[in-house]
């Protein structure tokens, strides 16, 4: 039921509490709880070229869901559609049972669907603490508090430090972002994303440009935060995908080729041919 929340009966289930504190009766399971994000026939056409075509995707709440595929498969376009930086040519997008297809990016972010980008997107000459504080100011509707007194801004510091600690950056609190190692900047970007209080995070190639040591750190961080957040990520590093993902969707030529866990997909001849290659079997 697009735009609404469908519920089913299950005599084995217990009473379920909703995020807003309400409760449902015994045996009532809400599909918006099971799948936090769903697309139906999602399509994006550019002058006759289909970058994304008829993509139907279901992301289960609490899972790490990976979107993989060769270059040009439509992964980033799909991300842009989900976060409303592009308008679909056809199809619908449901988030927590609500149709968000026609919403603006800022409105989608306010609902709790937040994206990090493929390149590190932090203010280079601000400290780590200041970067997170800016995100907190935005979340609390205080985007222009830059110009207020330091005392006013300091009210965000305890929460900012908590978030820095969550991503292992406490010791970098007073370090300008430009002086931080690349992997630490990516961790900082995740902290600023968390500051927006998401329910679901879309991570666009979180390991891009990293060395082995940084990859391990960020992978461990993603695994840790997945205990609290649903994550949909685009990632080319197949070892990371194999170790982190609950579910993997393979795109090729803008369409869904296959879906499953890594052990299933690594044996799928279509996936080997399109993306993984025999050496990854």
Instruction: Print burial letters for 63-79: b (CB count within 10 Å at least 16), e (below 16).
Output: bbbbbbbeeebbbbbbb
Residue 278 has pLDDT above 70, yes or no: no
- Compute the distance between CA of residue 114 and CA of residue 204 in angstroms, rounded to an integer: 11
What confidence score (pLDDT) does residue 138 get?
A: 72
What confidence score (pLDDT) does residue 15 get?
A: 33
Pick the more confident residue, 117 or 44: 44
Query: SS3 for 171?
Result: helix
The residues near 191 (Cβ < 8 Å, ≥ 6 apart) are: 128, 131, 132, 135, 163, 164, 166, 167, 169
CATH number of 62-86+102-280: 3.40.50.300
User: Sorting pLDDT into bands at 50, 70 and 90, what band is 100?
Assistant: very high
User: Sorting pLDDT into bands at 50, 70 and 90, what band is 140?
Assistant: low
What confidence score (pLDDT) does residue 19 get?
A: 35
User: Sorting pLDDT into bands at 50, 70 and 90, what band is 182?
Assistant: confident
Radius of gyration of the chain from its Cα atoms, rounded to whole angstroms: 20
What confidence score (pLDDT) does residue 50 get?
A: 95
Determine phi and psi for 158, rounding to 5 degrees.
Answer: -60, -45
What digits encode the pLDDT tens for the residues 45-98?
Answer: 999 999 999 999 999 999 999 999 988 899 999 999 999 999 999 999 999 999
Residue 4 has pLDDT above 90, yes or no: no
Residue 256 has pLDDT above 70, yes or no: yes
Residue whose tokens read 């194999």: 242
- Compute the distance between CA of residue 185 and CA of residue 118 in angstroms, rounded to an integer: 12
Partners of 262 in beta bridges: none
- Compute the distance between CA of residue 131 and CA of residue 68 in angstroms, rounded to an integer: 30
Residue 117 has pLDDT above 90, yes or no: no
Lowest mean pLDDT among 13-27, 96-110, 161-175, 206-220: 13-27
Quote the mean pLDDT of the chain.
83
What digits encode the pLDDT tens for the residues 16-56?
Answer: 333 333 334 444 445 446 999 999 999 999 999 999 999 99
For the entire predicted model, the pTM comes to 0.80
Distances from the Cα of 240 to the Cα of 41, 61, 215, angstroms: 29, 20, 8
- Compute the distance between CA of residue 99 and CA of residue 3 in angstroms, rounded to an integer: 4
Distances from the Cα of 128 to the Cα of 40, 105, 141, 153, angstroms: 39, 25, 20, 15
Residue 118 has pLDDT above 70, yes or no: no
Q: Where are the domains of the chain?
A: 62-86+102-280
Query: SS3 for 96?
Result: coil
**Kind plus residue range of the DSSP H or E element containing 138:** helix 128-139
Mean pLDDT of the 216-238 span: 92
Residue whose tokens read 């009473």: 15
């Amino acid at each position: 039921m697009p735009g609404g929340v469908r519920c089913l009966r299950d005599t084995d289930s217990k009473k379920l509490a909703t995020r807003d504190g309400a409760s449902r009766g015994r045996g009532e399971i809400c599909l918006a709880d099971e799948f936090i994000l769903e697309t139906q026939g999602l399509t994006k056409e550019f002058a006759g070229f289909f970058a994304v075509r008829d993509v139907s995707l279901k992301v289960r709440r609490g899972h790490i869901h990976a979107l993989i595929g060769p270059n040009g498969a439509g992964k980033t376009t799909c991300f842009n559609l989900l976060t409303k930086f592009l308008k679909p040519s056809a199809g619908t997008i449901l988030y927590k049972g609500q149709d968000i297809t026609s919403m603006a990016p800022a409105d989608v972010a306010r609902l709790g669907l937040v994206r990090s980008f493929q390149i590190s997107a932090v203010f280079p000459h601000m400290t780590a603490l200041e970067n997170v504080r800016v995100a907190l100011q935005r979340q609390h509707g205080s985007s222009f508090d830059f110009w207020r007194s330091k005392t006013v801004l300091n009210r965000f510091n305890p929460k900012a430090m908590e978030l820095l600690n969550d991503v292992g950056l406490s010791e970098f609190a007073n370090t300008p972002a430009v002086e931080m190692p690349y992997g630490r900047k990516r961790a900082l970007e995740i902290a600023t994303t968390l500051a927006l209080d998401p329910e679901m995070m879309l991570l666009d190639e979180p390991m891009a440009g990293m060395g082995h040591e940084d990859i391990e750190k960020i992978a461990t961080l993603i695994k840790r935060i997945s205990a609290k957040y649903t994550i949909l990520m685009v990632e080319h590093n197949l070892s990371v995908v194999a170790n982190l993902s609950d579910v993997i969707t393979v795109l090729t030529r803008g369409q869904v080729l296959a879906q499953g866990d890594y052990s299933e997909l690594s044996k799928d001849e279509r996936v080997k041919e399109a993306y993984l290659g025999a050496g990854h079997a």
